[in-house]
Structures are given as structure tokens and as C-alpha cells.
């Protein structure tokens, strides 16, 4: 995307959401601009839905999302608002802000927003580690045998793969601190403390520890997600308290020291164990779902997953997968359902491209297909094809359901996060080669069923709206 086009999208977006002064929080994920606004009455929904160069618009709770695609970072850079928004938030400026009623829906939305904002920036490290583990599985003695487990190359790369998950609390300590507007280095320190070698040894040996005469719960926090996010969230308020009352000349030393001294007992005695217990319940719930509903349960997740992407709820499920994989080493529910969805979405885009008579729609279909297969970007297909034309959405849901049910009956397991594109299949590679074979068959079923259904039931082409 050229800088001029990115600037135009940024200007149109600012105009549609009420300008810089109406922004409370602004950031972006892989494909979307995300805004939390002060006064929602200033938003022009009709205008924001027709911004040229965007794929679509979604409102999730308090958050306004403009779908751009993989070049969202280029557009976000054109806003030049990050410092303005941060300074305004730090100055506690609430002029013009509209107080919103607190409901269960808004609370859930804020929790989801906090999780997404904390986890999404850390995904590159997690995916990288998963890909390296997958490569070692292929080249190692269990498959090709090119590398032995005793070779230096194998051992060093194995360190890299393990580190991406083991040090997850450290990564999330940084990203969570950025999300909650607190000191990211202290956030990393808190994550490091949770997996400090001496503490890990005491947990492994069953050594009883106390801090300020309070008992420390022996929990292994390596590869965990929820405890550190919860800890940093509370830390943001503790740091703000000390920053408010400590004189400027003493802040550099005493704000971080006092913050850590308060947070360490809270982390080890209260917050860490609570987060760990909550994570264990999430993992247990997913396993329970599989045990009760079996392959049909996996199929139902696959059938509705594209809808979850549209609403933004898929991030919560992805977070649950991280928790499950950290405790069991694999996932046999969610990503077994997600893989057929990824392939079915691509099939819907390709069938749409080949079936369309309008040149513009063919271009949309082929570009969406490539973005999904190579880039793992589903939004162009979702917002440009599946939602406007409906029938491809139904076809995708049926195709994904069929593929996921097959994989469920074959007891397929997912072992490594490898992306949301065609490489998602690599996550099924394991010593048991039949696991990968059944994954490929299941995804092929999803592709064929979706493609055939889109081709047979068709869709009524229509002209695309233009920006005014």
C-alpha cells in the first residue's frame, strides 16, 4: 500500500470517528484498526462503512474496528496519534467523555479486549517457536532422520522452540504492560520472577516458601498465560498510586521498587494461583466438551468459528488453546476445528472467484484466496464475500463442519501453533504420521464440500458501495 493511500484511509477514518480528540485508546492487531472512543454519538457509521481501501467494519463491545488487512500497520502509522492519545490518558482528561453504564456485556468486552491486546503482540514469538519445533520434528529421528537428537544443531534449535513457550510469562509481561499503560520493563521483571530458576526448583522439590510470613503457593508458571496478565493489570494500578504520591525527584528509584515489593506477595500468594486455577478450568472445560459431545462438538465449533471471527470472540478461544497446550502439549478440540475453517474459507473465496461474472468480484475472490492461503488473513473473504452474499457463508460452515467431524472421529491432535494459513497443517505433524494424514484428509473434505456448495447454490452478484 502506498503512503498516499494509507494517509487517505487514515484521514477518512478520523473524520468518521469524530477526530483525534474523540479517541480514548487506539491500537491495531494483525488486520484491524481498533479504537475505544469517548463519545460514540460522534461516529458516522455510514461513512466509516464506506471508506475506500478498507475491507469492512466491526463493533465489538466498546471497541470500533476498521478492517484493513495485512497492511494495517502502514495505515496506523499515518494517524500520528499514539503519543497524543497516551498523553491525554495520562493527564486524566475526561472532558467531553461520555460515561458508559457498566453491564455484564461491557465487563466481558473489556476483559476480552485486555486479553486480545496482551496476547496478540506476542503471537509472532509463539508461532515462530511452534514452526521451529515442527521443523525439528520433520528433520529429527522420528521422521526424516537428517538430524539426531545428539547433534548440536538439533539441541540449539530445540532450545529456541522451547524458549518461545517457556518464557511466555516474560513476553506477556511486556505486552500486558503496554496494554495497561504501565512500565513494560517492570512487567517483564514480574514475568521473569514467576519462572526464576530458584523458584522453579523449589516448586519441583516441594519446598515450602513464605513471603512476609504468607504462604507461597507452589505453581509452575512456565508457559502460562493468565497469571501474568492478571498480575500486570493489578500492577498498573499499584504503580499509578505510587507515581501519584511520590515526589518527582524520588520516582525513578522508589516507584518501581515499591511497586515490585507490593506486587511480589500479591503475585505469589493471590493473583498467580488464581490465574493458574482459572487456566486449569479452561483446559478442563475444553476437554470436557470433547468428552461429552465428541466429534460433533468439534464440528459445531468449526461451523460457527467464522462467525466468532466476525464478532471477535475467536481470540478468547485461541487464548484457551494456549492454556490447554501449555498443560497437555497438544490440543484435540479447538484447532482441530479451526484448521478445516481456514481451508474452507479459502475454498469459498476460490469458488466465488471462479463463479463470478463481474471482473471486480473475480479480482476480489482471487486476492482473498491468496491472502487466506498464504497470509492467513480471513477478513477479505469474510467481509467482502461471505457476509455480503450469505450463501458462501453457509457453504463454509457446512464444509468446515464435515471436515472437523471427520478429524474428530480420527482423534486428530494439534501439536504446534504454526499460523492461520496453509501452514496450519504443519501443526499436526507428529511421530504418528497418521495424525497428519487424517488432518490433511479432513481439511480436503472441508475444501471440497465448501467449493462444491458455493458452486452449486451460487450467489447473486451486486455492485459494491462507494464512499461519499
Integer distance in angstroms from the first to the last C-alpha of the chain? 22
Structure letter (DSSP) for residue 427: G
Q: Looking up cell 501452514, which residue turns up? A: 423
Burial class (CB in 10 A: 0-12, 13-18, 19+), 460: exposed
Q: Which residues pair with 163 in a beta bridge?
A: none
The whole-angstrom separation of Cα 116 and Cα 179 is 9
Whether 267 contacts 254, CB under 8 Å: no
Please tell me the distance from the alpha carbon of residue 238 to that of residue 349, in angstroms, as a whole number.
49
Q: Which residues have C-beta within 8 Å of that of residue 147, sequence separation ≥ 6?
A: 136, 139, 140, 141, 153, 154
Which residue(s) pair with 216 in the sheet?
209
User: For 237-254, b where at least 16 C-beta lie within 10 A, e where not — what string?
Assistant: ebbeebbeeeeeeeeeee
| Chain position carrying cell 494456549 | 322
Structural contact between residues 70 and 30, judged by C-beta atoms closer than 8 angstroms = yes
Closest CA to 397 of 307, 332, 298: 307
All three cell numbers of 47: 461513512
Cα Rg of the chain, angstroms: 24
- Classify residue 80 as left (phi > 0), alpha (psi -120 to 50) or beta: left
Residue 424: CB atoms within 10 A of its CB come to 23
The 3-state DSSP class for residue 255 equals helix
Query: How many angstroms separate the CA atoms of 136 and 467, rounded?
Result: 50
DSSP H helices, 195-271, are 197-205, 226-245, 248-265
| Bridging pattern class, strands 214-216 and 32-37 | unpaired
Region of 248 (left: φ > 0; alpha: ψ -120 to 50; beta: rest) is alpha
Fill in the DSSP letter of residue 33. E
Rounded Cα distance between 90 and 69, Å, is 30
Q: Which of 29, 128, 402, 443 is catalytic?
A: 29
Active site residue 443: no
Which residues have a catalytic role annotated? 29
Amino acid at each position: 500500500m502506498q503512503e498516499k493511500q494509507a494517509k487517505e484511509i487514515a484521514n477518512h477514518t478520523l473524520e468518521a470517528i469524530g477526530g483525534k480528540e474523540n479517541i480514548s485508546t487506539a491500537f491495531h492487531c494483525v488486520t484491524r484498526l481498533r479504537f475505544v472512543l469517548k463519545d460514540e454519538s460522534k461516529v458516522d457509521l455510514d461513512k466509516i462503512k464506506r471508506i475506500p481501501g478498507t475491507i469492512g467494519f466491526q463493533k465489538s463491545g466498546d471497541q470500533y474496528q476498521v478492517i484493513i488487512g495485512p497492511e494495517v500497520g502502514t495505515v496506523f502509522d499515518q494517524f500520528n496519534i499514539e503519543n497524543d492519545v497516551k498523553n491525554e490518558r495520562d493527564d486524566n482528561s475526561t472532558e467531553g467523555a461520555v460515561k458508559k453504564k457498566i453491564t455484564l456485556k461491557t465487563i466481558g468486552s473489556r476483559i476480552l479486549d485486555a486479553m486480545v491486546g496482551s496476547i496478540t503482540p506476542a503471537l509472532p514469538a509463539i508461532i515462530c517457536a511452534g514452526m521451529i519445533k515442527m521443523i525439528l520434528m520433520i528433520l529429527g529421528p522420528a521422521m526424516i532422520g537428517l538430524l539426531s537428537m545428539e547433534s548440536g544443531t538439533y539441541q540449539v534449535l530445540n532450545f529456541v522452540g522451547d524458549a518461545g513457550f517457556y518464557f511466555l510469562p516474560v513476553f506477556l509481561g511486556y505486552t500486558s504492560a503496554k496494554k495497561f499503560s504501565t512500565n513494560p520493563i517492570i512487567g517483564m521483571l514480574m514475568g521473569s520472577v514467576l519462572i526464576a530458576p530458584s523458584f522453579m526448583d523449589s516448586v519441583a522439590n516441594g519446598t515450602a516458601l513464605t513471603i512476609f510470613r504468607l504462604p507461597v503457593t507452589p505453581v509452575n508458571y512456565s508457559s502460562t498465560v493468565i497469571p501474568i496478565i492478571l498480575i500486570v493489570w493489578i500492577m498498573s494500578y499499584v504503580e499509578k498510586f505510587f507515581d501519584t504520591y511520590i515526589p518527582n525527584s524520588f520516582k525513578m528509584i522508589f516507584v518501581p521498587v515499591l511497586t515490585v515489593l507490593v506486587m511480589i506477595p500479591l503475585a505469589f500468594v493471590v493473583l498467580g494461583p488464581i490465574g493458574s486455577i482459572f487456566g486449569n478450568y479452561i483446559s478442563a472445560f475444553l476437554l470436557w466438551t470433547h468428552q461429552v459431545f465428541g466429534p460433533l462438538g468439534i464440528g459445531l465449533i468449526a461451523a460457527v468459528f467464522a462467525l466468532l471471527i466476525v464478532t471477535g470472540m475467536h481470540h478468547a478461544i485461541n487464548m484457551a488453546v494456549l492454556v490447554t497446550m501449555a498443560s497437555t502439549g497438544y490440543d484435540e478440540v479447538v484447532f482441530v476445528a479451526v484448521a478445516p475453517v481456514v481451508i474452507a474459507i479459502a475454498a469459498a473465496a476460490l469458488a466465488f472467484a471462479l463463479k463470478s461474472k463481474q471482473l471486480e468480484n473475480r479480482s476480489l475472490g482471487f486476492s482473498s484466496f491468496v491472502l487466506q492461503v498464504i497470509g492467513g488473513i480471513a477478513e477479505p473473504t469474510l467481509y467482502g464475500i461471505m457476509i455480503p452474499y450469505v450463501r458462501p457463508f453457509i457453504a463454509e460452515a457446512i464444509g468446515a463442519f464435515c471436515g472437523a467431524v471427520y478429524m474428530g472421529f480420527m482423534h486428530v491432535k494439534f501439536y504446534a501453533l504454526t499460523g492461520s494459513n496453509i501452514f496450519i497443517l504443519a501443526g499436526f505433524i507428529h511421530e504418528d504420521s497418521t495424525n497428519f494424514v487424517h488432518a490433511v484428509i479432513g481439511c480436503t473434505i472441508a475444501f471440497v464440500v465448501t467449493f462444491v456448495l458455493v458452486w452449486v447454490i451460487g450467489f447473486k452478484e451486486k455492485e459494491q458501495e462507494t464512499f461519499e
